Amino acid sequence: MHRSKLLFFLLSFIFSNFSHLLPLVSAENMSFDFPSFTLRNLTLLGDSYLRNGVIGLTRDLGVPSSTSGSVIYNYPIPFFDQELNITASFSTTFSFSINNINPTSFGDGLAFFLSPDQSLGSPGGYLGLVNSSQLTKNKFVAVEFDTKLDLDFDDPNENHVGLDIGSLVSMKTADPMLQGGISLKSGNLITAWIDYKNEEAKLEVFLSYSSFKPEDPLLMVDIDLSHHLKQFMFVGFSASTEGSTELHLIENWRFQTFGFRPVRPSIHPHNESDTVDLKPPIPVSDNTNKHHKRVGLGFGIGGPAFFCVVLVVFGWISVKKWMGVRTEKSLKAELVTGPRAFSYKELKSATKGFHSSRIIGDGAFGTVYKAFFIESGTVSAVKRSKHSHEGKTEFLSELSIIARLRHKNLVQLQGWCVEKGELLLVYEFMSNGSLDKILYQESELGNPLKWPYRYNIAIGLASVLTYLHQECEQQVIHRDIKTSNIMLDPNFNPRLGDFGLARLMDHDKSPVSTLTAGTMGYLAPEYLQYGKATDKTDVFSYGVVVLEVTCGRRPIERETVGQRMVNLVDWVWGLYGQGRIVEAADKRLNSDFKEEEMRKLLLVGLSCVHPDSTERPTMSRVLQILNNEAETIRVPKLKPTLSFSSGFLPLSIEDIVSDGDEFETPEPLSMIKVG
C-alpha cells in the first residue's frame, strides 16, 4: 500500500513538473491507397459490386430500369481538430470509366463525396447522393461527373464536372470537353485529382486520360469548406442511372488528409546574458571527496535509471488511458454519424407508454410498437427487447457494427435507447408490414401478392444476402431468415430486418458451434445437427422463403384431409420428380405469371434447400441466376438423403408438432444445445 502511494506521489510529481515538456496530441493526418480493390475496409451499398479488383457502382439491368450504388471507406475520417480549431485539407486521386452498351441512353453520372453519414440516395437522376422525396435531407460535399442534362438541377450540358454542397444544383461547373477534350462517357479510363487547401480556401479538380496530372485545373472554386467538414466524415463514390444502362467503374483510389500538426513543446533556451555568482571552493579532505564521488556516482547512475523507469510506467499508463479514450471517441463517432440515441421518455411517449394498441409485431426476441413522434411528424417502429445484454458497452459495440450496414433491401436502423434496464431499437416504419402478413393473412381475404412483386422480392432478398455474406468487411450471418422478418416498403420491395440472432464472422474463419436458434421449418439440417451457422444455413432459409413466395404455402402445414403434416420442401421436390413442378405455383395467382420465371424460381428454391450444404449455391450465384446472368443450377429429380457420421437427427415434423396441437405457423426454437 505504501509503495502504491509512493509511486502515485512520484508520478504526480513528474507529471506536475515535466508535463509541459510532453507534446499535446491532436488529430492525425491519415491516408489510404487502393491500387486495386478488395472488400477489406470498404462497404458496398445498393447495386454496387466488386469484380476483378474493380468496383462497379451501377448494374446493367436493362432499359427502362434505374439503378443506384455507392462504395464507402469503412471508417470515419477526422477533418476537424477541436483542440487546435484546425480543419484538414485533403487530396484524392482515382481512375474511373463510364460506358454504355446503348449510347443513346446515357445518364446520370457518378460523384466523389464526403458526408457525415453513410446514407444512400435514390436511383434516377440523383447520383446516389439524395433521396427523390427529400432532396435536402442528406448533407454532403461532392464533386459530380455528370453525363446527363437535367434542367431540374440547372445542368449546363450532358458532359460536365461540378461542385455540389448539400444540393445537386452545382455551385460551379466546367466542361471537360472544352477545356481538355475529355468526354466523360467515352468509356476510356479517366484519372481525376481533387485537391482542397484549407489555408487557401480553394478546391481544384484536374482530369486527364493519362496518369500525369495536368498543370492547370479543369475546375477551380474559391470556397471555405470548414463549415461543411465536420469532425468526422465518410468518403466514397456514388452513382445512379435513370432508365438507362450506364455503367460506372472505379479502378483505383488514393486519399489523404493533411494540415494537422501536433503542438510542439515550448522550451526556452538558456539566456547567455544571465549572471552567475561564483564562490571560492571550500577545501575538504580526500576521504570526504572519495565518499562524495561514490555517492555522486551512485546518484548519477541510479537517478536517471530510476527516472527512466518511472517515465516508462507513466507513459504506459498514459498510453493505455489515451487508447481507451480514443476507442470510446471512435465508438461515439460511429454512433453519432449513424443511428442516434433516443431518450426512454421520448420513446415511451411516442408509443403511448408501450400500449398494447400500438403493437404491430411480437416475436421470441421482442415486441414491436408503432411510434408517432409528434414534434417531427414521423412514424417509426420501436422494438422492445425481451432479453438483457451483458452490458451497455458490449451492446453499443455490436450496435455500431449493425448500424454500418447499408443496403436498399435492409430495414434501416434509426436509433437506440439503453435506459431503465431496457434495450430499445428504433427502425424505419414499413407501412405494408411483413411478407408473412401480406402473403397469408391478406391473401386469404382475396388480395394475393401479384407475381411481379413476388419475383422482385426473391431478387431483393438475394441481393441483400449477397451484401451480408460477401460484400461487408465482416461476414454477417443472419440466422433467422423467414417471411415474418421480411418487411415490405410502400412499393412492395423487400426489406430484411430483425438482426437479433445475427452473428459477425471474418471471411476466412471457420464457423463454431453455437446454441441453435431460429424458426423450425427454416433451419438447415446440418445446423440442427451440429449447431454451426454459416452462410449456407442462410441460403437454406432463403430457399424455404422462395418456395413459400412461389407456392403460397407455409414451410410446415397440416393437410386439410387426413391431418398429416406436410413439409413444403418435400412436397415441391415430389412434384419436380414427377415433371409437374409448375403445379406447385400458388393457386391464388390463377396462372397469372410467366411460366419460365415460375420454373426458374422454384428450381432456385430447391437448389438452395439441398440437404448437402456444399451443393447449395452462394447468394451471389443465386442473384446472377435471377438476373439472367447465369444458368440455373441442375437439381436432382429425387431429393438426396443426408446421413450424419455421429450424433442423432433432431425431432421429426410429427415430433415437433403433436397431433393434438393446432398448427398455424412455424414457431421459434428456444436456445437449445445440439451436437
Strand pairing report for 340-341 and 413-419: parallel
Q: Has residue 15 been placed in a domain?
A: no
pLDDT tens across 101-111, in order?
Answer: 666 667 788 99
Q: Has residue 453 been placed in a domain?
A: yes
Q: Which residues are catalytic?
A: 480
Binding residues for ATP: 383
Instruction: For residues 414 and 439, state if they share a domain.
Output: no
Contacts of 622 (CB under 8 A, 6+ apart): 462, 466, 539, 542, 604, 608
CATH number at residue 418: 3.30.200.20
Q: Has residue 146 been placed in a domain?
A: yes
Q: How confident is the model at residue 269 (pLDDT cuts 50, 70, 90)?
A: very low
pLDDT tens across 597-633, in order?
Answer: 999 999 999 999 999 999 999 999 999 999 998 888 8
Q: Has residue 316 been placed in a domain?
A: no
Instruction: For residues 477 and 404, state if they share a domain.
Output: no
Grid cell 407456392 in the structure block, residue:
551
Run of H or E residues at 672: strand 668-672
Strand pairing report for 503-505 and 494-496: unpaired
Q: At what angle do helices 535-551 and 568-577 cross, to 10 degrees?
A: 70
| 43-58: b (≥16 Cβ within 10 Å) or e | bbbbbbbbeeebbbbb
Instruction: For residues 369 and 504, state if they share a domain.
Output: no
Q: Has residue 272 been placed in a domain?
A: no
Q: Has residue 657 been placed in a domain?
A: yes
Q: How confident is the model at residue 419 (pLDDT cuts 50, 70, 90)?
A: confident
Domain around 530 = 435-672
Nearest alpha-carbon partner for 119 in 353, 345, 410, 525: 410
Measuring CA to CA, how many Å separate 435 from each of 250, 429, 538, 546?
36, 14, 17, 11
Q: Where among 393, 428, 463 does a domain terminate? A: 428
Between CA 301 and CA 308 the distance in angstroms is 11
Instruction: For residues 424 and 500, state if they share a domain.
Output: no
Instruction: For residues 461 and 385, state if they share a domain.
Output: no
Average pLDDT over residues 172-176: 93
Instruction: For residues 451 and 390, state if they share a domain.
Output: no
Instruction: For residues 413 and 475, state if they share a domain.
Output: no
Instruction: For residues 418 and 348, state if they share a domain.
Output: yes
Average pLDDT over residues 292-310: 58
Q: Has residue 625 been placed in a domain?
A: yes
Return the minimum-mean-pLDDT range out of 24-28, 30-34, 220-224, 597-601.
24-28
The number of domains in the chain is 3
The better pLDDT of the pair 180, 620 is held by 620
pLDDT tens across 420-436, in order?
Answer: 878 888 888 888 888 98
Are residues 642 and 497 in contact, defined by beta-carbon separation less than 8 angstroms? no
Q: Where among 407, 428, 449 does a domain terminate? A: 428
Mean pLDDT of the chain, nearest integer: 76
Q: How confident is the model at residue 229 (pLDDT cuts 50, 70, 90)?
A: confident
Binding residues: 383
pLDDT at 582 over 90: yes
CATH number at residue 197: 2.60.120.200
Q: Where among 200, 225, 258 does a domain terminate? A: 258
Instruction: For residues 160 and 212, state if they share a domain.
Output: yes
Instruction: For residues 254 and 355, state if they share a domain.
Output: no
Q: Has residue 524 been placed in a domain?
A: yes
Instruction: For residues 345 and 441, state if they share a domain.
Output: no
Instruction: For residues 198 and 225, state if they share a domain.
Output: yes
Between CA 192 and CA 205 the distance in angstroms is 7
pLDDT at 496 over 80: yes
Q: How confident is the model at residue 464 (pLDDT cuts 50, 70, 90)?
A: very high
pTM comes to: 0.50
* E strand segments, 84-231: 86-87, 89-99, 109-115, 141-146, 160-165, 172-174, 190-197, 202-208, 219-222
